Amino acid sequence: MSEKLTKLQEELKKIQNLNHITSLLYWDMKTIMPKEGFGRHSEVLTAFSTDCFKLETSDELYALVKELNAPCEYESLDDDWKFIVKRMLRDMEESRRIPAEFFSEMVQAQAESSVAWEEAKNASDFSIFAPHLEKMISEQRQKALYMQPDKDPYDTMIGWYEEGMDVASIDRIFEELKKELIPLVKDILSRPKTEDARFFRPTDLNAQKQLEKVLLRYIGFDFNKGCTGESEHPFTLELSANDVRVTNHFQETNPIDPMFSAIHEGGHAIFEQNIKPSLDGTAGGSCSYMGIHESQSRFYENILGRRKAFWIPIYGELQKILPTFADISIDDFVKEINHVRASMIRTESDEVTYCLHILLRYEMEKEIFRNNVPVSELPVLWNQKMEEFLGVTPANDAEGILQDMHWSDGGFGYFPSYLLGSIYDGMFLEKMEEELGSVDEILEKGEILKITAWLNEKIHQYGSTRLPKEVIEKVTGKPLSSASLIRYFKEKHGK
């Protein structure tokens, strides 16, 4: 190994150590930190994040990475390291344009904004969050312009979460989907359906937590390399492939949502736990493409988790853990988890209307960054779009614009990833069935780990070293299109 590469690995270790600390602070802040601990906690988080940012963008590291990109050094590297040094050079050139002072102000503002959002959501009062949202919008726009001065800021933001995508490419596939989906959803919603109150009976929280562990283990989550926690909004956090953590949000009278959150976050975690160890701590060692990431969580949650065959091997155990399900047949359960409703809340919605919730957020972000719609007009615009897409209007902002945490820390451009993930899933499912045979048969036999192994081999092990477009082409052999997802929805929900 070249001397320069050894030096780079040492530098990466220092960065990895700082990242480890900031991630642990973040985990603590989101799971168990007492409210009053926030001030000091966010100070420390800002300090460590800023140190890490300085290290990541330092002149010494930049010089070293540039040397490793010179032909004589570059050619001696293996494919993974070629990817890593090339990626580092590009990332550094972009992030070195962000002034360090701006960076720490931004981290501080994000932490404050998250707290204000939570308060606003609990009080259903948009005015508490509005000034913070305004700041998040202007800071993210500024950050995008620092990093890529010649590019449209919203295109840049989309690229942060799904490299290679921009408004033009997303519009093309989303419009195709929207055209088919709005009439399909109208048709489904027009069919008579009754609510089954048995699914909303108070269910012991500890039993729900026990079931979460059973579900995670069932799909292939490795508890030697991961653990669970609780937070307002479920998320997955990876410290390394050997320490991947998931959270959940339990509610006494809604036991089904946490089951699907567990399966969803479990899908993210399985991805991270199975990235090859040689990539650990490098730019390839965690999947940074959120569309690809969401495709994995949503594959488990929807493509697998909403099939009867998924539940056949474990429904008896579920009924034992949750006695409130003892009088519910598996068929009634499967009907409920596929019940298409015009729900106000994205995270509580079914797999079909979910897509419309994302289209709405994507259109909102375009209004913000492309049409400069003022923050004060956003709640009304949100409600109008809900009426247009799903025929319902939120009664208040808590069930409208305040419901998601993403914008609270400046995560604009993330939402399209969820829908891209589902679109990829339609394509992955077709290929998987071509290679492994019927997914229903595999699941029914209790062999879900065969599916996990297929995903490990085809997708997970590579981490970030394959761009989203390459993943799609290598796995499916086809260019990106929503046709497979549309076909899947029509077959499943059309009649």
Nearest distance, CB of residue 256 and Zn ion, angstroms = 17
In the sheet where 243-248 sits, what is the strand order?
226-230, 243-248, 236-240
Minimum Å gap between C-beta 293 and Zn ion is: 7
Taking the least distance from each CB to Zn ion, the nearer of 297 and 476 is 297
Binding segment for Zn ion among 106-114, 206-214, 297-305, 319-327 (CB under 5 A)? 297-305
The token duo for 85 is: 């040094």
Q: Which two tokens stand for residue 154?
A: 């919203």
Which range in 4-12, 294-302, 320-328, 476-484 contacts Zn ion by CB under 5 A? 294-302
CB of 339 to Zn ion, least distance (A): 21
Q: Using an 8 Å Cβ cutoff, are 465 and 284 in contact?
A: yes
Smallest separation, CB 290 to Zn ion (Å): 8
**Residue 353 beta carbon to Zn ion: minimum distance, rounded to whole angstroms:** 17
- Stretch of 53-61, 89-97, 295-303, 342-350 contacting Zn ion, by CB under 5 A: 295-303
- Identity at 341, one-letter amino acid code: R
The residue range among 149-157, 296-304, 379-387, 475-483 that interacts with Zn ion, by the rule CB under 5 A, is 296-304
Q: Which stretch binds Zn ion (CB under 5 A): 223-231, 290-298, 384-392, 458-466?
A: 290-298
Q: How far is the CB of 8 from Zn ion (least distance, A)?
A: 31
Task: Give the x/- contact pattern for Zn ion in 240-279, rule: CB under 5 A.
Answer: ----------------------------------------
Question: Of 94, 162, 265, 399, which is the active-site residue?
Answer: 265
The Cα 386–Cα 399 span in angstroms is 11
Nearer to Zn ion, 297 or 452 (CB): 297
Burial of 440 (0-12, 13-18, 19+ CB in 10 A): middle
Question: Which residue's CB is nearer to Zn ion, number 233 or number 276?
Answer: 233
CB of 211 to Zn ion, least distance (A): 20
Question: How many residues bind Zn ion, per CB under 5 A?
Answer: 1
Task: Report the C-alpha dihedral over residues 354, 356, 359, 365, rounded to 10 degrees.
Answer: -80
Smallest gap from Cβ 363 to Zn ion, in A, equals 20
Closest CA to 269 of 232, 297, 303: 297
Residue 492 neighbours by CB under 8 Å, 6+ apart: 338
Which CB, 116 or 215, lies closer to Zn ion?
215
With the CA atoms of 109, 137, 363 and 256 taken in that order, what torsion angle do they form, in degrees rounded to the nearest 10?
0
Tell me whether residue 15 or residue 215 sits nearer to Zn ion (CB atom): 215
Q: Supply the minimum distance, in Å, between the C-beta of residue 436 and Zn ion.
A: 24
Closest CA to 425 of 275, 293, 238, 284: 293
Contact 136, 110 (CB under 8 A): yes
Of residues 129 and 271, the one with the C-beta less far from Zn ion? 271
Could you tell me the two tokens for 261?
């959150």
- Window 116-135: residues binding Zn ion (CB under 5 A): none
Beta strands (DSSP E) in 26-68 are none
Using the rule CB under 5 A, give the single segment among 150-158, 239-247, 293-301, 313-321 that binds Zn ion.
293-301
Spatial contact of 13 and 55, defined as CB atoms under 8 Å apart: no
The token pair that represents 165 in the structure block: 């995508």
Is residue 250 a contact partner of residue 228, using CB atoms and an 8 Å limit? no
- Give long-range contacts, CB 8 A cutoff, 24+ apart: 135-143: 135/109, 136/109, 136/110, 136/407, 136/408, 136/409, 136/410, 136/412, 137/368, 137/369, 137/375, 137/412, 139/105, 139/106, 139/109, 139/410, 140/410, 140/412, 141/369, 142/102, 143/98, 143/102, 143/106
d(CA 417, CA 42) in angstroms, rounded, equals 28
Query: Is residue 139 annotated as a catalytic residue, yes or no?
Result: no
Q: Kindly tell me which of 322 and 420 has the beta carbon lying closer to Zn ion.
A: 420
Q: What is the spatial distance between Cα 265 and Cα 244, in angstroms, rounded to a whole number?
A: 10
Task: Copy the structure tokens of residue 435.
Answer: 């290679």
By rule CB under 5 A, what string of x and - marks binding of each residue 96-115 to Zn ion? Answer: --------------------
Contact by Cβ (8 Å): 162, 169:
no
Using rule CB under 5 A, residue 297 touches Zn ion = yes
**Residues 198-217 within binding reach of Zn ion (CB under 5 A):** none
Compare residues 16 and 347 and give the one whose CB is closer to Zn ion: 347
| 328 versus 419: smaller Cβ distance to Zn ion | 419
Nearest residue to Zn ion on Cβ basis: 297
* Token pair for 101: 């002072």
Catalogue the active-site residues.
Answer: 265
Chain residues that interact with Zn ion, rule: CB under 5 A: 297
